[in-house]
Chain A
Amino acid sequence: EPEVTQTPSHQVTQMGQEVILRCVPISNHLYFYWYRQILGQKVEFLVSFYNNEISEKSEIFDDQFSVERPDGSNFTLKIRSTKLEDSAMYFCASMGTSGNPVFGPGTRLTVL
């Protein structure tokens, strides 16, 4: 069964550093997402991406965040200058036309 993969599984960074989280969506999917889960809290929508552009973003997704699909297979989330409160699990998801998103295993980001 096709899977969404994410790398790295765990990223530790210093406050103020830039990080890039990577995702490989399912190959024939057209919709791509990033979600965030702060430890002990619920999963929150960050951004959706379709047809090479952002289709929707939440209030969390401020100017420090950006997404890109650089090569037709990868889907990345960049945080330009990390803050302590960016520490969370970040989930990538992709979806075809079924309305059934498939989530990746997540990247745990720790900002020190």
Chain B
Amino acid sequence: AQSVTQPDIHITVSEGASLELRCNYSYGATPYLFWYVQSPGQGLQLLLKYFSGDTLVQGIKGFEAEFKRSQSSFNLRKPSVHWSDAAEYFCAVGANTGGFKTIFGAGTRLFVKA
């Protein structure tokens, strides 16, 4: 069955430090992969997506993610975190299960300390 695992429930980093949020997926075919960010009480904002091609994808707000097929991973990175990056981050896979749907991970809450 298709699934997405985000092993870290929450992460705290200092402002200006680098960030890596982990994501592993389980899907039989070549996946469509997404990272979304959600501020409290708000909707889902797409940070970046991977469909095919270059395995390092660039997104908005200085984020990037690398698709590693051998590890079934799609980790999100940012070289220097800003206080405004504090939010919940969801990794997701687009799965074709008869119809196409998006399967989300449980999310990682990012805290940024001054």
Contacts and interface: CB of A to CB of B under 8 A. Distances in A.
Interface residues of B, number: 23
Contacts of A104: 43
Contacts of B42: 105-106
A44 B44 contact: no
Interface string A25-61: 0000001010100000111110010100001100000
Nearest to B99: A55
Contacts of A55: 98-99
Nearest to A45: B101
A91 interface: yes
Nearest to A100: B49
A43 B43 CA distance: 11
Contacts of A42: 90, 104-107
B99 A48 contact: yes
A16 B12 CA distance: 42
Interface residues of A, number: 23
A93 interface: yes
Which of B90, B101, B104, B107 has the most C-beta atoms of chain A within 10 angstroms of its own C-beta? B101
Which of B42, B43, B51, B92 has the most C-beta atoms of chain A within 10 angstroms of its own C-beta? B43
Contact of A101 (B41, B102, B105): B102
B99 A56 contact: yes
A99 interface: yes
A104 B44 CA distance: 8
Interface of B: 32, 36, 41-44, 46, 49, 51, 90, 92, 94, 97-107
19 contacts: A31-B99, A35-B102, A42-B107, A43-B90, A45-B103, A48-B99, A50-B99, A56-B97, A56-B98, A56-B99, A99-B51, A99-B94, A99-B100, A101-B102, A103-B36, A103-B43, A103-B44, A105-B43, A106-B42
**Which 8 A/B pairs are nearest by Cβ-Cβ distance?**
A55-B99, A56-B99, A105-B43, A43-B104, A48-B99, A42-B106, A103-B44, A45-B101
